[in-house]
Amino acid sequence: MASRAGSSRPVPSGTLLIKDIETLATFNEKLGEIKNGAIYVKGNVIEWVGQTDPLPAEYSNADTIISLPDRVLIPGLVNTHHHMFQCLTRCIAQDSKLFGWLTTLYYAWVHLTGQDVYVACKLAMAELILSGCTTTSDHLYIYPNDVKLEDSIRAAREIGIRFHPTRGAMSLGESKGGLPPDSCTEDEGACLTDMQRLIEEFHDNSRYSMLRVGLAPCAPFNVTNDLMLAAARLARKYPGVRLHTHLAENQEDIDFSLKVYGCRPGQYIKNVEWEGDDVWFAHCCMLDDSEAKQFADKGIGIAHCPSSNLRLASGIAPVRRLLDSGVNMGMGVDGTASNDSGHMLQEVRLALLLQRAGGSIEGMEAREALRMGIGGGARNLGRDDIGQIAPGFAADFVAWRTDSIGFAGAGKDPVAGLLYCTPSIGSVDLSVINGDVVVRDGELLTLDLKALIKEHMEHSERLCAHLPPWWKTGKKP
């Protein structure tokens, strides 16, 4: 297995000092929040964190020095559920639940090409980075024409994001009782062969790795138990390869499982050997109390995707109950055809607000929601080297201006202001990923964003031309 196959670019060899930070929220229990903070980075690793004044002499002459007054800085957000190809087909099936939404979009997705996926992933990654994300997973589960997981890996390497691509699959088509058309499915043996190839060629389990591969058969309603079981056993042959899929997303999902498999999600994952601490599931809006306990006892994680759940009328995941049961909760923007945004900070804000929707002001508080979007996500991905600004952690952090119109009046608590004021605070001012400055002064440095948007629109128009006449509602006459 290649030890550094996932590196997007050479590890930085120099030193970086970020100083004069108005508010530095480390999300490290010992270091806490620091006024007039500073961070010293050597290569791609944080070496020192403290106050700018007084600054230890050995850290004052870094190769690159950036002063950040009027900024709030936190560890990079971690996105643990996405379908990046879907940003080509936003605002489709606007009035349909999950199954109707999917069956409408399959008309377009079956025409995807590798170049479509590459362009879509690059745009989705840019949107994530500008909204505070430094590490993301992606669930690519459809492989028509010449589509390969390498299309998304190429995009990640070029833009410079820390990436956890998962090799998805759909094998249970309409003719076998599944949801997708047969033209969108693959042979299970071929899927497993490709999964093994990708792990051996790209998975990098070293500390500070920029790329780790996961396995992700799409969902109980479009894969067989045999594929779920085989994928679990394959993943566990390789250190650090994790398992991911959708589960208990809405009542349709539960009804399908009861009809086809004769059991609820908790028993289903036990039957297919997905009951382990190397697994995280997306959504889980419909888990009952016994399943919440099962998840906590087995160390299973969840990617909470509030915007998508609301857009598709799937329900509101019981995050407060799950957290209180001991379940690890991370965040996901989900596909940008069911969100239809990839704004990571906005997703964390919505998670906070939804847990208060039932009338309890204690449903969630701002720093708890941010911990879900940072540390909870890191744990979902099996990472102990990201999610904190502290010595020995990867140099992944982001900063927003606090002298902008959206923050005006929020000076008493700019950390909480990141969520309470999110809609108007704009893009990140600075993003550092693996020691590289990827965004500075609000500008994404690793690509031409205007040119990318233009190219993306052209790909989207071609793909959406294949949608059926009822594309807007998602309801076939």
Short-list 396, 462, 398, CA closest to 41: 396
For residue 5, name the pLDDT band (cuts at 50, 70, 90). very low
Q: What is the pLDDT of residue 8?
A: 55
**Alpha helix (H) ranges present in 355-393?**
366-371, 377-380
Q: Hey, what domains does the chain have and what are their CATH numbers?
A: 15-75+387-444 (2.30.40.10), 77-100+112-380 (3.20.20.140)
Provide the terminal-to-terminal Cα distance of the chain, rounded to the nearest Å: 52
172-230 pLDDT, tens digit each: 899 988 889 999 999 999 999 999 999 999 999 999 999 999 999 999 989 999 999 99
Q: What is the pLDDT of residue 177?
A: 86
Token pair for 17: 């000092």
Percent over 70 (pLDDT), the chain: 98
Which amino acid belongs to residue 456?
A: H
Q: Which residues contact 450 (CB under 8 A, 6 or more apart)?
A: none
Q: What is the pLDDT of residue 2?
A: 39
Checking if the pLDDT of 1 tops 70, the result is no
Q: What is the pLDDT of residue 12?
A: 86
Hey, which residues does 24 pair with through a beta bridge? 34, 73
Q: Are strands 243-247 and 45-51 parallel, antiparallel or unpaired?
A: unpaired
